[in-house]
């Protein structure tokens, strides 16, 4: 039954029903708001070190939450720069002091990868670069991902998934340092700092206020025929924020596997929003009718359902050409008849 239709004859009962209905709507809106606020967030911390085998020349760090720079640190200034004023209040003086002291105390620890890179270098004054990239993500306030990458002289060398807890070697040229990375000292420091300065710091900031406005995706669906004759369905969602999004295909309202599905992955746009394209390749005998792209995002009140546009028939262009030719022939015929009639009229006069 529709909510607006009267269900009871009593005026008092009608008022009670409307009050309960309004209260229910309000409660659902509150929960929806809470869900919107407690969505996916990502924190990225980038350390960059430049030095020789005997000196640390430069150390800088930046912290980005949801692709917005929130803090930075520089070896020369030896202070944490807060990019958004209210973040200092949220983190508190004690937390910032603890964080600052930790960075200062561990500055020289960033020299060891430089020394490792320069161990076979004849030129001891040559500069080398070591980078550490730490990433953590929360979804509905639950930590879901945590990674660390070590990048030496521009090449990814090691990475670790905190859930697995084991360093993986990426660069075959660098295989001699896992025993240091796996040592109890560095393992305990890594776990402690990732929780304290990546996950917990992000939760404090995002729990207080949003760093940027959320934007719903713009969705477009199209289809075309490949040179091989297969039907290609494309669904594009762009301009959305935050980056967490779900896209899938349905046929006549049902989930299933009907062809080869591929995804571009969630990619950043120039304006710091995100883009995702999902394609479905169907066999030539499948016309593509009845397919729908379903998009779920925190800024959509309900899933967006975009039907695939009707496939134009192969004969449409020929029909259009034929109609044009017939129209031209008729026009020329009419013009010829008119000219002949005009000439006869002139002769008769």
CA–CA dist 294, 239 (Å, integer): 17
Residue 314: in which H helix or E strand, if any? none
For residue 285, the model assigns a pLDDT of 86
For residue 141, the model assigns a pLDDT of 79
Which string of b and e fits 273-292 if b means at least 16 CB within 10 Å? bbbbbbbbbbeeebebeebb
For residue 12, the model assigns a pLDDT of 39
For residue 98, the model assigns a pLDDT of 94
Residue 123 CB contacts under 8 Å (≥ 6 apart), including other chains: none
CA–CA dist 119, 116 (Å, integer): 5
For residue 120, the model assigns a pLDDT of 73
Domain boundaries, the chain: 41-208, 218-307
For residue 11, the model assigns a pLDDT of 37
For residue 286, the model assigns a pLDDT of 86
- Burial label, 329 (beta-carbon count in 10 A; 0-12, 13-18, 19+): exposed
CA–CA dist 192, 134 (Å, integer): 13
For residue 87, the model assigns a pLDDT of 96
Query: Under CATH, to which class is 218-307 assigned?
Result: mainly beta
pLDDT, mean of each 10-residue run, the chain (349 residues): 39 41 43 48 93 88 92 92 94 94 88 78 85 91 89 90 89 73 89 94 91 90 89 94 89 87 91 91 87 93 89 49 68 68 60
Bridge partner list, 200: none
CA–CA dist 117, 73 (Å, integer): 24
pTM above 0.85, yes or no: no
Query: Under CATH, to which class is 41-208 assigned?
Result: alpha beta
For residue 142, the model assigns a pLDDT of 85
For residue 19, the model assigns a pLDDT of 41
């Amino acid at each position: 039954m529709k909510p607006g239709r009267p269900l009871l004859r009593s005026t008092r009962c009608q008022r009670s029903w409307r009050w309960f209905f309004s209260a229910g709507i309000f409660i659902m809106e509150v929960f929806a708001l809470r869900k919107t606020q407690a969505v996916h967030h990502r924190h990225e911390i980038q350390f960059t070190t430049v030095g020789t085998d005997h000196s640390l020349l430069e150390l800088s760090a930046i912290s980005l939450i949801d692709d917005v720079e929130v803090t930075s640190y520089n070896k020369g200034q030896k202070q944490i720069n807060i990019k958004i004023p209210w973040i200092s209040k949220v983190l508190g003086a004690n937390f910032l002091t603890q964080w600052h002291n930790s960075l200062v105390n561990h500055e020289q620890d960033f020299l060891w990868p430089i020394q490792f890179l320069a161990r076979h270098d004849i030129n001891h004054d040559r500069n080398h670069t070591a980078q550490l990239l730490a990433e953590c993500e929360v979804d509905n306030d639950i930590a879901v991902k945590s990674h660390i990458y070590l990048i030496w002289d521009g090449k990814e060398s090691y990475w670790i998934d905190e859930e697995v807890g084991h360093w993986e070697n990426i660069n075959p040229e660098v295989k001699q340092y896992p025993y240091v990375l796996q040592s109890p000292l560095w393992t305990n420091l890594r776990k402690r700092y990732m929780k304290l300065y990546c996950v917990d710091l992000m939760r404090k900031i995002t729990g207080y206020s949003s760093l940027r406005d959320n934007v719903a995706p713009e969705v477009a669906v199209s289809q075309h025929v490949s040179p091989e004759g297969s039907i290609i369905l494309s669904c594009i969602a762009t301009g959305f924020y935050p980056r967490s999004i779900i896209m899938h295909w349905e046929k006549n309202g049902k989930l299933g596997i009907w062809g080869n599905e591929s995804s571009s992955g969630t990619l950043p746009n120039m304006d710091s929003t995100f883009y995702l394209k999902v394609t479905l390749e169907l066999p030539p005998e499948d016309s593509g009718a009845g397919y729908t792209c379903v998009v779920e995002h925190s800024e959509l009140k309900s899933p967006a359902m975009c039907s695939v546009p009707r496939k134009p028939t192969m004969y449409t262009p020929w029909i259009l050409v034929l109609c044009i030719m017939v129209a031209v022939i008729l026009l020329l015929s009419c013009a010829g008849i008119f000219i002949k009639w005009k000439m006869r009229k002139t002769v008769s006069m």
